[in-house]
Chains A and B, each alone.
Chain A
Amino acid sequence: NAGVTQTPKFRVLKTGQSMTLLCAQDMNHEYMYWYRQDPGMGLRLIHYSVGEGTTAKGEVPDGYNVSRLKKQNFLLGLESAAPSQTSVYFCASSYGEGSLPYEQYFGPGTRLTVT
């Protein structure tokens, strides 16, 4: 049982390049989330999904897109990377409606640097 896994672990991009971060979970969770973590800011929600085929904006969605084509996967895309997107990105998942909504399981993170 791997829990929540993220690919890649590290990435360096040049300004204007694009990339996709992959999140996978094997806990059959309904809800999935993408956060970014910046020093002094805590974690901020980028986008989330309450089920396969659904996505919604979080607190800081600008510059990012997401897709959830399969229940176990949640992809985060950066179409044109900017230095302000340098951050550590965390994916999380939770059981969904009827469970404890604050009980989220986090992946190990992806450290992204945009130069």
Chain B
Amino acid sequence: QQQVKQSPQSLIVQKGGISIINCAYENTAFDYFPWYQQFPGKGPALLIAIRPDVSEKKEGRFTISFNKSAKQFSLHIMDSQPGDSATYFCAAYDNDMRFGAGTRLTVKP
């Protein structure tokens, strides 16, 4: 039973558009919520992370929005580019990391 639920499974966005990936969790003991990016044939790499006492964190074109009361968080990729095409995993950390199932993002030129 997955502790972090991620949606959608796949996403197609036009170049310049906004990509939005959503995650939900149940365990309120989680104290960090990172996002990882994985390109085909590579291992995941840390993209951005947020703590539950912060509602939003922005790094360049990537923004995490966090809703503690709803136990949900999301990744927004602004001005999406073909180079952003990858699989994105949300995760939640409390002594160990629990990953969502992943979202395959395709950005069409």
- Contact residues of A with B, CB < 8 Å? 4, 40-45, 48, 58-59, 90, 92, 100-109
Contacts and interface: CB of A to CB of B under 8 A. Distances in A.
B43 A109 contact: yes
Given A43-B89, A45-B97, A102 B41 contact: no
Given A42-B89, A43-B99, A58-B96, A103 B46 contact: yes
Interface of B: 2, 4, 6, 9, 32, 34, 41-46, 49, 89, 91, 93, 96-102
Contacts of B100: 42
7 contacts: A40-B101, A42-B6, A45-B96, A90-B44, A102-B46, A106-B44, A108-B41
B84 to A, nearest CB: 19
A41 B2 contact: yes
Contact of B93 (A4, A41, A92, A102): A102
7 smallest A-B Cβ distances: which pairs? A106-B43, A42-B99, A102-B93, A102-B34, A43-B99, A102-B32, A42-B101
A4 B42 CA distance: 12
- Chain A binding surface, main DSSP class: loop
Given A59-B96, A102-B91, A107-B43, A42 B102 contact: yes
Nearest to A106: B43
B32 A101 contact: yes
B42 A104 contact: no
Given A42-B4, A45-B96, 11 more contacts: A40-B101, A42-B6, A42-B89, A42-B102, A43-B44, A58-B96, A59-B96, A59-B98, A102-B46, A102-B97, A103-B46
A110 B56 CA distance: 35
A108 B2 contact: no
Nearest to A4: B43
Nearest to A109: B43
Instruction: Specify which of B4, B9, B49, B99 lies most central, judged by the most chain A CB atoms within 10 Å of its CB.
Output: B99
Contacts of A41: 2, 101
B8 to A, nearest CB: 12
Contacts of B43: 4, 90, 92, 106-109
